[in-house]
Amino acid sequence: MQRSRLVPYGYQSGDCGYCKNNETSAAYYAKSSYMTVETYQALVDRGWRRSGDLLYKPDVLRACCPHYTIRLPAASFKPSRDQRQAINRWNAHVLGDKYAKEVAKKYPRSKEEKKQKNQRFDLVESVQEAEARHLKPVEPAHRFEVTLEPDDFSEEKFQLYRNYQSQVHGDIESEITRTGFKRFLCTSPLKRRKDSVEGREKLLGSYHQCYRLDGRLIAMGVLDLLPHAVSGVYLLYHSDFGKWNFGKLSALREIALVIEGKYNYYYMGYYIHNCVKMRYKGDYKPQLVLDPMTYHWNPLEDVKAHLDQEKFVSLDVAAASTPEDKSMDVDEFAGPDGTTWRYKSASEAAASGESLFIIRMPGVPTASELSHEVDLDQIHVTFGQGMTFQTNMLSSWEDDTDITHMTLRGAIAELAACVGQEVAESMAVDFSR
């Protein structure tokens, strides 16, 4: 069995990218050169995300803008009026009036078919309506194609990225590089493969969903296709097509991909309640929120009312709350085991150099709990060139018994605590990089 390879980078703080208050957030980081889709599915369901080959699990408690993992059960999705209108507007633009008239003339619908069309909105059918491969043999105004392609670099993709970052995001042109694009959106540790589900091919791994109009690449979604989910990583579109709302169009198409490919859930990344630009994810209903303490899923609508009052919310641990006095560096809150946790701010916790088992982080077990969940003596480590050993084979391992200090055992224990038992038992801690 080839194990997912993880390099522990530890707990670090940094400036928040979502607010303008010069506040600090923190996360636990790791890197990976190889990862199975099963491993990443398990990590996402513990609050992790990736950026290229960098993996991170935000400290939800200490964040000024807490990141909550959300997912949409696609089979239950009901598009809103404005979401349906976005699809219909784009389809009308691609097909044109002439196409619609010719199709109505050559392939007339019965009264019953027209009635069903008006009464029932089929998401998969609607997002594919204007695609060239689904058209009647009548010439449309434009040729529109959507393809799933390997997440490899191409100059065509880079030029789209360059336009999007400079014209839509306002980035400085000189800072938009091919190297950065490759690192950010073309370097995934997930390895692609194909499975068969109910007689149909199911793609797994990292892909680019490319949108081409009359042969021109106009938009691209970066997707991770996982055993039980389609996870949206990033979307970019050409500024010439800004008015067509590709944010909505791509989200709806990705939800349709979940349904058609039987992936079950659509992950839109993090929901950040106190960031207005990130609240739009709640418009795709019904969303479920991952509890940062217990990893249970709760309806977003149940969590929202609490998020209006508190930044840190765990419905499963009602007593858990963020301190009201933000000027304090140290405060207390009740942990899931009923004990009182004392904690420092994000910057102080990172600067202290203390173990996660001392500073504490929501969703991370205590040292005692970890000892019952994971046998650290059986963790695999690799030093490259196919050399993989269990930790108990290391000469100094038995002398290193305290996991609450920054030793080799402590670093491996922190990683195991953050990734959870399932991943810890199947990974190889990579010391070759």
Query: What is the pLDDT, as a whole number, of residue 343?
Result: 64
DSSP state of 17: S
Q: Prior bond to 140 cis, omega within 30? A: no
Q: Rounded to whole angstroms, how far apart are CA atoms 240 and 320?
A: 47
The predicted-structure confidence for 202-242, as pLDDT tens digits, reads as follows 999 999 999 999 999 999 999 999 999 999 999 999 999 99
Q: What is the CA radius of gyration of the chain?
A: 24
Closest Cα to residue 51, out of 305, 234, 309, 301?
Answer: 234
Query: What is the pLDDT, as a whole number, of residue 334?
Result: 52
Amino acid at residue number 30: A
By the 8 A CB rule, do 238 and 49 touch? no
Closest Cα to residue 398, out of 377, 381, 416?
Answer: 377
Strands 380-382 and 340-343 turn out to be: unpaired
Amino acid at residue number 75: A
Q: Prior bond to 108 cis, omega within 30? A: no
Q: Rounded to whole angstroms, how far apart are CA atoms 385 and 33?
A: 14
By the 8 A CB rule, do 190 and 35 touch? yes
By the 8 A CB rule, do 242 and 180 touch? no
Angstrom CA distances, 7 to 4, 86, 322, 382, 390, stand at 10, 43, 31, 10, 16
Helix or strand (DSSP H, E) at 297: strand 297-299
Residues 6+ apart with CB under 8 A from 284: 72, 77, 83, 251, 255, 266, 268
What is the distance in angstroms between the CA of the first residue and the CA of the last residue of the chain? 21
Query: What is the pLDDT, as a whole number, of residue 322?
Result: 42
Query: What is the pLDDT, as a whole number, of residue 412?
Result: 93
The predicted-structure confidence for 34-71, as pLDDT tens digits, reads as follows 999 999 999 999 999 999 999 999 999 988 889 999 99
Crossing angle of helices 155-163 and 178-185, in 10° steps, is: 100
In the numeric block, which tokens belong to residue 93? 């633009």
Query: What is the pLDDT, as a whole number, of residue 22?
Result: 65
By the 8 A CB rule, do 401 and 412 touch? no
By the 8 A CB rule, do 24 and 351 touch? no
State the greatest distance between any 2 C-alpha atoms of the chain, in Å, as a whole number: 83
| Number of residues written out for the chain | 433
By the 8 A CB rule, do 339 and 351 touch? no
Q: Rounded to whole angstroms, how far apart are CA atoms 41 and 205?
A: 11
The residue behind tokens 């404005």 is 82
Residue 129 half-sphere exposure, CB side, CA atoms within 13 Å? 23
Strands 427-430 and 4-15 turn out to be: parallel
Closest Cα to residue 314, out of 326, 328, 332, 298?
Answer: 298
Consecutive 10-residue averages of pLDDT for the chain (433 residues): 91 82 84 96 98 96 91 96 96 97 91 76 95 96 98 98 96 95 96 88 97 98 98 97 96 98 96 87 96 96 91 74 37 55 76 88 92 93 78 74 81 96 95 76
pTM: 0.91
Q: Helix, strand, coil proportions of the chain in percent (round to 5)?
A: 40, 25, 35
The residue behind tokens 């970052």 is 165
Query: What is the pLDDT, as a whole number, of residue 321?
Result: 43
Q: Rounded to whole angstroms, how far apart are CA atoms 181 and 104?
A: 45
Amino acid at residue number 126: S
Q: Rounded to whole angstroms, how far apart are CA atoms 11 and 361?
A: 10
Q: Rounded to whole angstroms, how far apart are CA atoms 432 and 386?
A: 10
